[in-house]
Structure 1
Amino acid sequence: MAVAVRHFKLTVEYEGTKFAGFQWQKDQRTVQGELEKTIAKVMQEPIRILGAGRTDAGVHATGQVIKFQTCNGIPVDRIPYALNAEMPSDIRIRRAEKTSAEFHPRYDAKSRRYAYLIDNKRFPSVLLRRVATHVPQRLDADRMQLAADYLVGTHNFASFEAAGSDRTGSSVRDLTLFRVRRDGSRIRMGVVANAFLYKMVRNMVGTLIQVGMGRVPSEHVGEIIESCNRKMAGPTAPPQGLCLVKVSY
């Protein structure tokens, strides 16, 4: 009797500090590598996963989505418990759902939401050092929001794509939300788009930090977009402030 193959969608949270990124790399500790190793151990069969986003080294996630298939008959509601019992302490499975063979967590995604956190005071917080970027100079969040407004819409975001991208298609993306707000000594940013270019969020944040410092006028962001020139945009913001919050389908 043939054993039925079952397909599962997992929502995954991880702290990216000690990972060389999400995607598998030889001789490197990666999120994909740890997930495949642990799921294989629990399911007692070789496992390969598909992920919604390839986060960089040091970038975190509370809503990464992966898919795997298995012949193991474990009930879906037991999967998070079984996997979390074996997972390293910097990865947790938040939810498990049945899905179809056709589902692809990356190509079927309608949008991704990222958050970026800045610790904006003179001396950095010890407790935030792994999950926030420290900027000692006070930032003008209102000016940053004015600049962020230029980024909302359908644009060619080539100016915010880092070198080393393996992109083969268009660099046009539809960015539907970019919010910047001050929360005491913290600057919180939230950005949503149908998809992002390589290091696009961190390059946009790096540009907005320059605006917040008063080094670049808010309206200059529109010119940066039109230029399609990476050299026109600001530096790449550090990875630790960035978190993949949600992937929507």
Structure 2
Amino acid sequence: MVAFGYHGSHFHGSQIQPDVPTVQKAIENALRKVSWWTDGCLEMSSRTDAGVSVRMNLACIDIPITVWNEVEKKTILRVLNNRFPEGLCAWNLVKVESDIRSRAAINRTYLYRTELIEEWSAGIDEKLFIDSCKYIVGTHNFTNFCKLEEDKNPIRTIDFCEPWYSSDGRIIGIHISSEAFLWNQVRRIAAAITGVATRRIDFDLFKSALQNPETSLDLGRAPSNGLILWSIEHQFSERMGLDCKPDTTGFSMPPEKKYRFKRWLSMAKLEMGMLIERDWESSLNLI
């Protein structure tokens, strides 16, 4: 089981699509180059859309047993990383039995930097932000907070949803965890909570969207570039990567003047990239 991550800007999502770079195809190509590829040898834990970055995903890769027995862990990681394209990194691994499935996760944790939503720079009501986070926690029908796929159950349990604070103590986003999320669920929750905090959305309307899923309400969808899949807890992952806290040292504040937002956004995206790059480098140095 391999822990790996990637920058969303480098790929058109995780799943294979024709004629565009995807994470799954990049991993497959690397395995083929070293003759470790066999049909069905790769299973990834979480799927992500284009633009979504990942500090930690998990993949079960069925590599030849002779490789595992004869090659050190750090060498396997180096072999993979030397053949991965820019923006993709394998940073840890553990041996598991062949019948273990990476998708059977205990929980998945996301960070969304709501500062990257343009309306944020006008200012927020922190109490409304915190109250909205609390309201999301628990088991609900999230029909109004996702793009519901056919035959998918819209009922999900959110284990926690809390403000994400910067190292200097300001709210910069949300920190949210569940066993499994629906398509676009975190981005729609982030948009709705931000809308309440900026008073674009009335708190009662926000609550109604959750309480009355049969009444269609669109509270918005936040851009993909603010989202990071931070960690995945799995029964057999030996707690890889679960004890790391996001280091937001150096995260800049969004400008008050609207005309400067796009320039700041470019810098904020780089900060998000450095956040996960620093963690990958630290993890690799420990092996």
User: TM-score when scaled to structure 1?
Assistant: 0.83
Q: Which of 17, 20, 28 is residue 9 of structure 2 equivalent to?
A: 17
The reply to whether residue 31 of structure 1 matches residue 23 of structure 2 is: yes
2:44–2:57 Cα contact (<8 Å) kept: yes
Within a 5 Å distance, the mapping from 1:142-221 to structure 2 comes to: 142-162=127-147, 165-166=149-150, 168-183=151-166, 187-221=172-206
Cα 1:231–1:18 shift into 2, 3 Å: farther
Give a deviation string over 1:191-222, Cα, whole Å, max 9, x none: 00111011000011111111111122334332
- Say how many residue pairs are matched: 226
1:76–1:96 Cα contact (<8 Å) kept: no
The reply to whether residue 71 of structure 1 matches residue 67 of structure 2 is: no
Tell me which protein shows more strand as a share of its residues. 1
The reply to whether residue 80 of structure 1 matches residue 77 of structure 2 is: yes
Q: Please state how far the C-alpha of 1:147 moved relative to its aligned partner.
A: 1.0
Q: Which amino acid aligns with 2:6?
A: Y
Q: Which of 112, 117, 126 is residue 113 of structure 2 equivalent to?
A: 117
2:7–2:87 Cα contact (<8 Å) kept: yes
The reply to whether residue 136 of structure 1 matches residue 131 of structure 2 is: no
Q: Structure 1 regions of 5+ residues with no counterpart?
A: 1-8, 120-131
Cα distance in 1 between the residues matched to 2:113 and 2:94? 30
Cα 1:116–1:137 shift into 2, 3 Å: same
Cα distance in 2 between the residues matched to 1:229 and 1:237? 22
Give a deviation string over 1:74-133, Cα, whole Å, max 9, x none: 235121111112211200001111111111111x111110001133xxxxxxxxxxxx55
1:158–1:171 Cα contact (<8 Å) kept: yes
Q: Which of 86, 94, 99 is residue 96 of structure 2 equivalent to?
A: 99
SS for the counterpart of 1:136 is helix
Q: Sequence identity of aligned pairs in percent?
A: 23
Indicate the RMSD between aligned Cα atoms, in angstroms. 2.0
SS for the counterpart of 1:99 is coil
Cα distance in 2 between the residues matched to 1:88 and 1:72? 25
2:164–2:175 Cα contact (<8 Å) kept: no
Within a 5 Å distance, the mapping from 1:44-55 to structure 2 comes to: 44-46=36-38, 48-55=41-48
Q: Please state how far the C-alpha of 1:139 moved relative to its aligned partner.
A: 2.4
Cα distance in 2 between the residues matched to 1:142 and 1:162? 28
Q: Please state how far the C-alpha of 1:11 moved relative to its aligned partner.
A: 0.5
Cα distance in 1 between the residues matched to 2:126 and 2:32? 46
Q: Which amino acid aligns with 2:175?
A: G
Cα 1:151–1:233 shift into 2, 3 Å: farther
Give the corresponding residue for 2:277: none
Q: Please state how far the C-alpha of 1:144 moved relative to its aligned partner.
A: 1.3
Give the corresponding residue for 1:4: none
Cα distance in 2 between the residues matched to 1:99 and 1:242? 29
1:144–1:218 Cα contact (<8 Å) kept: no
Cα distance in 2 between the residues matched to 1:21 and 1:230? 31
Cα 1:241–1:42 shift into 2, 3 Å: same
User: TM-score when scaled to structure 2?
Assistant: 0.73
Tell me which protein shows more helix as a share of its residues. 2
